[in-house]
């Protein structure tokens, strides 16, 4: 019987490589470095049907995100809060470390 707990895949995207870590609940399923190759990364994520992926916003990952979304992989873009501009005049706390701002569903 398949495990109902979803798999989450974190991607650390660089110009020539991508570090992948897949987890289910508290279990590390896989952690490895892949070449920056869209199809190889799609295949690696495809080992876990229905897996959700995310990567930190940056210029090297946008093409990968578009490719994965086009292949049916739910791939969210996240940003470190301290890298987002604070609204003018706000006293926004930096206690929250991650903020999701794009689900990748835009055309």
What is the number of structural domains in the chain?
1
Is 12 a domain residue?
A: yes
Does residue 1 lie in a domain region? no
Reported as a single tens digit per residue, the pLDDT across 59-88 is 888 899 999 999 999 999 887 766 556 665
Q: Which domain holds residue 48?
A: 7-86+93-102
Residue 2 belongs to a domain:
no
Look-up of token digits 């660089």? 14
- Which pTM value belongs to this model? 0.71
DSSP letter at 75? E
Look up the CATH number of the domain holding residue 39: 3.30.420.40
Q: What distance in Å separates the CA atoms of residue 98 and residue 8, rounded to the nearest whole number?
A: 15
Q: Is 11 a member of any domain?
A: yes
Strand 52-56 relative to strand 7-13, pairing: parallel
36 within some domain:
yes
Query: For 7-26, how does the pLDDT look when each residue is reduced to its tens digit (9 = 90+)?
Result: 999 999 999 999 999 999 99
Contact 56, 85 (CB under 8 A): no
Token pair, residue 21, equals 């870590």
């Amino acid at each position: 019987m398949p495990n109902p707990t979803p798999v989450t895949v974190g991607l650390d995207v660089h110009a020539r490589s991508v570090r992948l870590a897949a987890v289910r609940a508290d279990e590390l399923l896989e952690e490895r470095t892949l070449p920056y190759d869209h199809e190889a990364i799609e295949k690696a994520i495809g080992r876990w049907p229905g897996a959700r992926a995310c990567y930190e916003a940056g210029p090297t990952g946008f093409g990968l995100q578009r490719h994965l979304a086009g292949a049916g992989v739910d791939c969210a873009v996240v940003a470190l809060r301290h890298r987002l501009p604070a609204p003018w005049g706000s006293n926004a706390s930096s206690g929250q470390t991650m903020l999701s701002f794009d689900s990748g569903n835009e055309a």
